[in-house]
Amino acid sequence: MSAQRSQTLEAPLTSVGAALLARIENGTACVGTLGMGYVGLPLCVEFASAGLPVIGFDLSSEKVEALNRGRSYIGDVASERLRPLVESGKLQGSTDFERLAACDAIVICVPTPLGKTKDPDLSMVVEATEAIAARLRPGQLVVLESTTYPGTTEELILPRLQERGLKVGQDFFLAFSPERVDPGNKRFGTRNTPKIIGGVTPSCLSVAQALYRRAVDTVIPVSSPQAAEMVKLLENTFRSVNIALVNEIALMCDRLGVDVWEVIDAAASKPFGFMPFYPGPGLGGHCIPIDPFYLSWKLRTLNYRARFIELAGEVNSEMPEYVCERVASALNDRERSVKGSRILVLGVAYKRDVDDVRESPALDILKLLEARGAGVGYHDPHVASLALDGHTLRSEDLLPAVRQADIVLIVTDHSAYDYEEIVDNARLVLDTRNATRGLVSPKVLKI
């Protein structure tokens, strides 16, 4: 029998595990979530909606206060859905980590950024684990959802949780279940996105599956936490590599004088063997620009070079510079230099219709243009202000800013924009997202 098959079978539970499973199934198990951001808050809402009592923990008193007032600060969670859960007592926020001892299940949803050398920064995962370990008691389930390198759950978290003598699979239970949040996605949310789970032992898997079945429609077990960790990295490496490929195709098409958007649309007509990806100004968000480097870093420790990942990262990271070169070329053709020109960036969020600027290519583009002496400004209907190298920019009034700009640079294709109106009022437009599709104007250039 394969390891994966054995993990999917019902595992015999100790009396402690059986009692925890019973509390999960009868709806009395308290769920604590560490980290109340784009992953943690939606997850808490689903668990509370399923009838479980939930405590959302965060170091930010502002987030906790907003949560306890029933006011959502995450676009994917409507306050109208959050408020009844808070008022009924099913969901509450807290900065008091002593209350972790009262939780039957604890889910870690803290950020895992990269350091300056693109090495994993798991300091927040370690801090969360140590907070749990100091209060760990028999009958608790701990699940890591934060994206990380394969091996983290068993190499980093497990030893810390066992330091006081409790045994995994007997006294407490540990699993990894990668978050799959796609901010702004109107079709797929926490409940209807399949959930991957890998337990340290078969009994860990059984308990974790029971918990997530309360809040998620489809739960998919895998043989180990390491397999589950690898699933998330494969998903985002797949996107990173394919985006890098199409970004390089865009650079080729520029040299050849071919419209890359026309080429992609035509290729996408093939009903098999092709999946369209689209070029852009660079990668953004917490996952795709970061996650593949976790895998690359881990493989370096095993004396293996992840060449595809590193090359894809190189291509994608160079796109902001390419966009700035296109801006300079477009202005030069109109006998203007970047220095002294007024440049308006439309959209600074990392993707359409969200307010998240983490790793947004717009940040690099603004910095590069400022460094060249341009007068830069931006408009974004979702981002009111933006910290940029020690000073703050604020979203400008759209049409007056468009009319004043020497060039309008579309970086994020928010659906709220009337692109025909923008083109009509602009002197020149460089579109990095094909947002002006169907508009024919000599003022519009595209990457």
Number of Cβ within 10 Å of residue 22's Cβ equals: 13
Q: What would the two tokens of residue 323 be? A: 């966009």
Concerning whether 287 is annotated as a catalytic residue, the answer is: yes
Main-chain phi, psi angles of 87, to 5 degrees? -65, -30
Residues with Cβ within 8 Å of residue 153, at least 6 apart in sequence: 144, 174, 175, 176, 198, 200, 225, 226, 229
**Active-site pick, 109, 253, 287, 324:** 287
Cα–Cα distance measured from residue 175 to residue 154, given in angstroms and rounded to the nearest whole number: 9
| Positive or negative: CA dihedral 36, 71, 75, 356 | negative
Q: Are 41 and 190 in contact (CB under 8 A)?
A: no
Query: Active-site positions?
Result: 287
